[in-house]
Amino acid sequence: MSGYWAGILSILAINIVFAYGIYLSVATGQLNLGGAGFQAVGAYAAAYLSEGFGLPVYVTIAASAAAAGIIGAVMAFPILRTRGVYLVLATFAFAEVVAGSILNSETLGGPTGMSVPDFIDWQVPVVAAILVSLFVFYLMSTRFGLAMRAVHDDETVSDLMGISIRATQVIAFSIGAALAGLAGGLYAHSFSFVEIQVFNALLSIYVLLYVLLGGTQTPWGPIVGAAFFTLLPEALRAFLPAIKEILVGLFGVTGDISNPDESWRFVILGALTILMMAIRPEGLVTRTMIERLTLRRGRTRPETEASA
């Protein structure tokens, strides 16, 4: 496999793990705009333990998830007291506090960043993404997953049914923070360098869009959303010249045609995102869609067995 596709697979796998970290809090009705902060905690924890103590990769990656999960559990109690836009602002403020603390820390390299000695190839993030996906699918099928869905749909009814809303939200937020930290640890070892400028507000917005665009009703949503935002810009990089030639032909423009500016692929991506959010505000993958596909499979199997 070429280095280009290996890098794309690594980024896609990391984004899927990261998206699931935000999905778990969103699945309980909590919009989390602090994803970049938790990923930064995981990335710098892995980088510091790898460079400063020479610990093996499996230890540093596990430590990245543990560090972010512990901080998430501690921060969940004050942050989850807020609601709506105040929760969004609180999680965003947390990410900014993390960024500012690392930026002014000489131990963590400050604005120059840190190098990570141990490198992992694309297979490790891909395996991690598969395992995390299976874990989230299993989690959402348990009684705790049902409680998360109930809290998301109606907190009042959930409380009447005996569900501890506070405990459900804190646990989901903490597990999500651990997964975001895991994504940070994978990022650190995949790119062998971390700098705090990467973990900015735009990253928090992007990963939240992965979840909202993919859909919050089913664990398939984050996979679809992460794949959309990761692969479409790369596809547009290849097809943008062909798209420009088609448009030039339609409007009858003659003369020398320069290659299109690559920044246009982000314009197209933004326009498609707005269009899809307007057409399907519930996300690309919904619970109804999954149920319909399941029913079709169930109807096809008896017909196949009867014909046999």
Tens of pLDDT, residues 102-140: 999 999 999 999 999 999 999 999 999 999 999 999 999
Has this prediction a pTM greater than 0.85? yes
Asked if 149 contacts 27 with a C-beta cutoff of 8 angstroms, the reply is yes
User: What's residue 147's pLDDT?
Assistant: 94
User: What's residue 263's pLDDT?
Assistant: 67
Write out residues in the chain with pLDDT < 70, as ranges. 1, 243-263, 296-308
Tens of pLDDT, residues 228-277: 889 888 887 777 777 666 666 666 655 555 555 666 777 777 888 888 88
Asked if 257 contacts 194 with a C-beta cutoff of 8 angstroms, the reply is no
User: What's residue 233's pLDDT?
Assistant: 82
Going from N- to C-terminal start, the domains of the chain cover 3-214, 230-307
